[in-house]
Amino acid sequence: MKRTIVQALIIVLLVTCTGYSVQLLDFSPASIQWMPPQPPNLDAGYTVRSSATSFTVSSTDPWDVAISGNGWTRDGASSDKPVSDFEWKSYCTTQGTMTTVTTYHDAWQPLSTQTQSVASGSAGENAQFLMDYRIKLDWHDQPGTYAITLTYDGTDGTPDTETQDITLDVPATQRLDMTGSFAWVQPTAADLNRAYLARSAATSLVVSSNEDWETTVSAPSGWDSVPIGANITLGDFKWKSHCVTSGTMASTVTTPDTWTSLTTGSVAVASGSPGKDGQFLMDYRIDFDWKDPPGDYQITPTYQLGTESENVVITITNPTIQSLDLTEDQMQWVKVTAADLDRGYVLSSAATSFVVGSNIGWEVIVATSGDEVSGGVHYFTATPGKGQYGLPVTDLYWKSHVVDKGSLATAPTVQEVEWVTFDAATGACASKIATTTEAGADCVVMVDHKIALNWHDSPDTYTITLTYTLQPSS
Instruction: Note the pLDDT tens digit of each residue in 198-208.
Output: 999 999 999 99
**284 in Cβ contact with 239 (< 8 Å):** yes
Q: Which CATH number fits domain 191-319: 2.60.40, 3.90.1200, 1.10.3470, 2.50.20?
A: 2.60.40
User: SS3 for 155-174, per residue?
Assistant: ECCCCEEEEEEEEEEECCCE
Q: Which residues neighbour 252 within 8 Å (Cβ) at sequence distance 6 or greater?
A: 243, 246, 270, 271, 272, 273, 278, 280
Amino acid at position 454, single letter: N
pLDDT at site 3: 47
Nearest to 81 by CA among 89, 73, 93, 69: 73
d(CA 58, CA 17): 16
Mean pLDDT of 197-220: 97
∠ at Cα 319 (314, 320), nearest 5°?
Answer: 150
- On the question of pLDDT at 466 being above 80, the answer is yes
Amino acid at position 447, single letter: V
pLDDT at site 2: 44
Strand order, beta sheet including 23-28: 23-28, 46-59, 124-136, 86-94, 109-110
φ and ψ at residue 52, rounded to 5 degrees: -70, -30
Per-chain mean pLDDT for the chain: 91
Which is more confidently placed, 329 or 110? 110
**52 in Cβ contact with 73 (< 8 Å):** no
d(CA 163, CA 20): 21
* Cα-based distances in Å from 369 to 319, 366, 372, 458: 29, 10, 9, 22
* Cα-based distances in Å from 175 to 30, 160, 306, 310, 356: 35, 46, 9, 10, 51
Which class is 323-472 in CATH? mainly beta
pLDDT at site 370: 67
3-state class of 44 per DSSP?
helix
d(CA 318, CA 227): 10
The architecture in CATH of the region 23-170 reads Sandwich (2.60)
What are 230-259's pLDDT values in tens digits?
999 999 999 999 999 999 999 999 988 899
The reported pTM is: 0.82
DSSP string covering 205-264: EEEEESS-EEEEEE-TT-EEE--TT----GGGEEEEEEEEE-TT-S-EE--TT--EE--S
d(CA 153, CA 1): 74
- On the question of pLDDT at 11 being above 70, the answer is no
Amino acid at position 7, single letter: Q
pLDDT at site 385: 57
Positions of CATH 2.60.40 in the chain: 23-170, 191-319, 323-472
Where does the pLDDT of residue 351 fall: very low under 50, low under 70, confident under 90, or very high at 90 and above? confident
